[in-house]
Amino acid sequence: MRVAALDLGTNTTRLLVADVEDGSVREVERRTEITRLGEGVDERRRLLPLPIARVRKVLSDYRRALEEHGAERALLVATSAVRDAENGEAFLGEIEWSYGFATRLLSGGEEAALVRRGVATGAEVDAGTLIVDLGGGSTELILGDRHLSLDLGSVRLTERFGEDVEAIRAHVREAALPLETAKAVGVAGTVTTIAALDLGLTEYDPQRVHGHAILRDAVERELARLAGLSLEERRRLPGLEPKRAPVIVAGAAILAELLAVYGLDGIRASERDLLDGAALEAAELPEPEEGAAPPGAYTCC
């Protein structure tokens, strides 16, 4: 079955169109747009009009793309920014009514389960491997049946601390909870961007990034390099999406400190993540039916 999975994140809005069969996910098209839906949410606890407008424009493009590919089901999942915002659920109602996507607001535990399911479509993950999903608003840590959801995200901590690396690292140390692990897999934009920089890519190549082992020393080196550049210099850096430049220092600082806290020598990057898990969930949806507007439609802003 051909499906579409959409991830409404704090920093990015993403699309995966894929063919799902017998638990496997074969990518047809994958897109990422940096929309910063979570801008200001940490302070105001509301989704703001300008970020909402950015997301709606991208969702219109994604709607056309999934129709062109003939997706039979479409599931949009929302994470940290929408969880934290007072008008988050109302916005999801508007999305469902406007674009016809089934929507799901994920708890931290549900997000972790989908991340684990998605990572497992790309490689076997044993119970002793820590999965680090470092997002814009939160970081999910998954180890076997244990899950921790921490308010450590690249957008959130940039808004709190700017590019004060030591303040960010101190905050991560204070927030991190005890875990015993010897190896880790990392997903989402910060980890894959650091992998691309470590590889010296001039253009992002997901096939080379997927499975790349980033040593802890390399993460520290890239953090120091990024923190030493101006915003404009980072925007011109090969391998770094220019719109990610404002939050990559905080993201790299979070990653570096997590590796230090848990005594890890490095982390393996994975391109398979929450979206792949959501694609499996989309294939399990019932056939869509015409219906009334969902609660909260057109009331979010």
Mean pLDDT of 259-268: 95
Residue 178 pLDDT: 86
Residue 233, in any domain of the structure: yes
| pLDDT digits 0-9 by tens, 151-165 | 899 999 999 999 999
* Together in a domain, 140 and 168: yes
Q: How many domains does the chain have?
A: 2
Kindly report the CATH number assigned to the domain that includes residue 160.
Answer: 3.30.420.150
| Same domain for 251 and 135 | yes
Q: 167 and 46 in one domain?
A: no
Residues 135, 81, single domain; the answer is: no
pLDDT for res 292: 44
Q: 69: domain CATH number?
A: 3.30.420.40
The confidence score (pLDDT) of residue 171 equals: 96
CA–CA separation, 244 vs 235, rounded Å? Answer: 8
Query: Is residue 63 one of the residues assigned to a domain?
Result: yes
- CB half-sphere exposure, 85, CA atoms < 13 A: 28
**Claim to verify: residue 94 and residue 135 sit in the same structural domain:** no
d(CA 202, CA 294): 45
Residues 167 and 50 in one domain: no
pLDDT at 145 over 90: no
Is position 41 within any domain?
yes
Does 267 map to a domain? yes
Let me know whether 249 and 170 are in one domain: yes
**pLDDT tens-digit map of 80-134:** 889 889 998 899 999 988 898 899 999 888 888 899 888 988 777 887 899 999 9
Q: What does the pLDDT read at residue 177?
A: 86
Shared-domain flag, residues 208 and 85: no
Assigned token pair, 213: 């082992």
> What burial class does residue 97 get, using C-beta atoms within 10 Å of its C-beta: 0-12 exposed, 13-18 middle, 19+ buried?
middle
Same domain, 74 and 133: no
pLDDT at residue 41 in the model = 85
Is the pLDDT at 297 greater than 50, yes or no? Answer: no
* 117 within a domain of the structure (yes/no): no
Range of the domain at 238: 123-271
- Model pLDDT for residues 232-255, shown as the tens digit of each residue: 999 999 989 999 999 999 999 999
pTM of the model: 0.84
139 lies in the same domain as 236? yes
Between CA 54 and CA 94 the distance in angstroms is 15
Residue 301 belongs to some domain of the structure: no
- 12-21 and 2-8 as β-strands: parallel, antiparallel, unpaired? antiparallel
Tell me, yes or no, whether 290 lies in a domain: no
Q: Are residues 136 and 36 in the same domain?
A: no
Q: How far apart are CA 194 and CA 5, in angstroms?
A: 25
Specify whether 69 is located in the same domain as 127.
Answer: no
Write down the residue that tokens 């770094």 correspond to: 240
Is 114 inside any structural domain?
A: no
Residue-level pLDDT at 288: 67
